């Protein structure tokens, strides 16, 4: 119930409009503006800068303090003490699993990792140089053509089956996208391997020899999955919720999330960071790019910098930077040229008034690409990895949306087009 009220006066309206104000467990209060339509008013918030689109209990972000909590647990503690599948359980269920629950969860995921053999034929319709995100959008959307047994979105068990299928199959599909692009045969998942190890063997293994994963790289891969797992109502998650609100099946909704994630302002930024670092090429060119990033006439932005919510360090970027150092040390490439440029770029940007005034800090995408490149993953696969990781966040929010009363999402607009006029041939 609302124990607070907001009162709105509008020129030309005699009455004072009283609006309920709700308080969450933490974070800003929200003003319920639903009554405004009956007063002939809409709110106006392009980009949803000040709009809470829903109630959720999955993830909390405090952008001013650089805080990210999943089920109340700080991301730094989860990165240090947990693993991706345990965080998947947490995001889906709101609590960390007991050892027994985790064993069952992991076993269930392992038993769903294969895709229907017919799906392999989809890939042959693509050119070998097709962007793997284009393939992933198509193949994930096509999953709904295979799983007619679990598409009742109002059935909690069906929602759980879809979640398991998606968590389990996304690494398989992602690796298939890569294998197809390099003309190598698809690698089947191996049930004896852990989640990240399994992904790496599907990516880099081949039928001619056994693949042995490097445990440091597998741990780094699992941490990258974990750091990207969920992030409240970001653009792609909001897309999944909106698609879900029409009653679309979960696989189509996740495909819509993959499509929204692809943009360079969102999940495509990790690929764009590497492209930017390659374009900078040498530390001596950094100043030129910093000037371009500050020039309002130049569309260039410092990729991997800035965030709609974080006006402080993105806590994931800090963990990612530490993981980057660990991986490059393990691989003996501390002098990675891109890392040197990235660290110098970060140092210069963080001392520059333009970035300080606008509270622009490195975000989750700034260092992830350097790690992925060091692991041997090509740049055009970076956002595919982000989509793989974020699938749990998308399906958790989709499931939360369908777990209670809900309405189709249908925003309105400020109309500035022509008023009514009669048709006359020109």
Which among 228, 307, 397, 402 is annotated as catalytic?
307
Residue closer to ligand SDX (CB basis): 66 or 267: 267
Residue closer to ligand SDX (CB basis): 235 or 333: 235
Residue closer to ligand SDX (CB basis): 296 or 418: 296
- The single residue listed with the structure tokens 């360079």 is 264
CA gap 123, 173 in Å, rounded: 10
Residue closer to ligand SDX (CB basis): 53 or 114: 53
Residue closer to ligand SDX (CB basis): 65 or 127: 65
Closest distance between ligand SDX and the C-beta of residue 85, in Å? Answer: 19
CA gap 74, 26 in Å, rounded: 14
CB 414 within 8 A of CB 44: yes
Closest distance between ligand SDX and the C-beta of residue 270, in Å? Answer: 8
Q: Would you call 365 a catalytic residue per the annotation?
A: yes
**Two tokens, residue 33:** 């503006």
CB 272 within 8 A of CB 293: no
Residue nearest ligand SDX by beta-carbon distance: 306
CA 164 to chain centre: 18
CA gap 205, 185 in Å, rounded: 10
Q: Would you call 336 a catalytic residue per the annotation?
A: no
Closest distance between ligand SDX and the C-beta of residue 305, in Å? Answer: 4
Closest distance between ligand SDX and the C-beta of residue 287, in Å? Answer: 14
Q: Measured between alpha carbons, how far is residue 308 from residues 118, 175, 265, 402 in Å?
A: 41, 31, 10, 27
Which among 222, 230, 336, 365 is annotated as catalytic?
365
Q: Measured between alpha carbons, how far is residue 348 from residues 65, 160, 249, 286, 364 in Å?
A: 22, 47, 47, 9, 18
Task: List residues binding ligand SDX (CB under 6 A).
Answer: 47, 231, 234, 265-267, 269, 293, 296, 301-309, 358, 360, 363-365
Closest distance between ligand SDX and the C-beta of residue 27, in Å? Answer: 15
Provide the sign of the torsion angle of the four alpha carbons 309, 315, 318, 319, taken in this order. Answer: negative
CB burial of 169-191 (b: ≥16 within 10 Å; e: otherwise) equals: bbbbbbbbbbbbbeeeebbbbee
Catalytic residue numbers read 266, 307, 365
């Amino acid at each position: 119930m609302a124990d607070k009220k907001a009162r709105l006066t509008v020129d030309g309206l005699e009455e004072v409009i009283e609006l309920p104000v709700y308080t969450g467990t933490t974070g800003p209060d929200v003003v319920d503006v639903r009554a405004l339509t009956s007063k002939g008013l809409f709110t106006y918030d392009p980009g949803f800068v000040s709009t809470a689109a829903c109630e959720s209990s999955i993830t909390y972000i405090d952008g001013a303090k650089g805080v990210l909590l999943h089920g109340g647990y700080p991301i730094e503690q989860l990165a240090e003490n947990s693993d991706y599948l345990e965080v998947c359980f947490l995001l889906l269920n709101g609590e960390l699993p007991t050892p027994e629950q985790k064993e069952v969860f992991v076993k269930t995921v392992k038993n769903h990792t294969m895709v229907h053999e017919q799906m392999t034929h989809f890939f042959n319709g693509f050119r070998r140089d097709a962007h793997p995100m284009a393939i992933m959008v198509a193949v994930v959307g096509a999953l709904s053509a295979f799983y007619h047994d679990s598409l009742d979105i109002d059935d909690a068990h069906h929602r759980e089956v879809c979640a398991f299928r998606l968590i389990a199959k996304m690494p398989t599909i992602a690796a298939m996208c890569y294998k197809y692009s390099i003309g190598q045969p698809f690698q089947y998942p191996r049930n004896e391997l852990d989640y990240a190890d399994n992904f790496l063997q599907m990516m880099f293994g081949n039928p001619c020899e056994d693949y042995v994963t490097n445990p440091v790289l597998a741990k780094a891969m699992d941490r990258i999955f974990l750091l990207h797992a969920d992030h409240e109502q970001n653009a792609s998650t909001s897309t999944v919720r909106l698609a879900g609100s029409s009653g679309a099946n979960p696989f189509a909704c996740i495909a819509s999330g993959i499509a929204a994630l692809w943009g360079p302002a969102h999940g495509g930024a990790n690929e764009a960071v590497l492209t930017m670092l390659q374009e900078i090429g040498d530390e001596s060119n950094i100043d030129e790019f910093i000037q371009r990033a500050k020039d309002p006439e130049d569309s260039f932005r410092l990729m991997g910098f800035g965030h709609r919510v974080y006006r402080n360090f993105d806590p994931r970027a800090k963990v990612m930077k530490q993981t980057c150092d660990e991986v490059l040390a393990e691989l003996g490439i501390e002098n990675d040229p891109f890392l040197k440029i990235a660290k110098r770029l970060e140092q210069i940007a963080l001392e520059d008034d333009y970035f300080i005034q606008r509270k622009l800090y490195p975000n989750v995408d700034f260092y992830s690409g350097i790690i992925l490149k060091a692991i041997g993953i090509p740049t055009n696969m970076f956002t595919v990895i982000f989509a793989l990781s974020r699938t749990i966040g998308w399906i958790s929010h989709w499931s939360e949306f369908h777990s209670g009363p809900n309405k189709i999402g249908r925003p309105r607009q400020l109309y500035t087009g022509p008023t009514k006029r009669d048709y006359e041939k020109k």
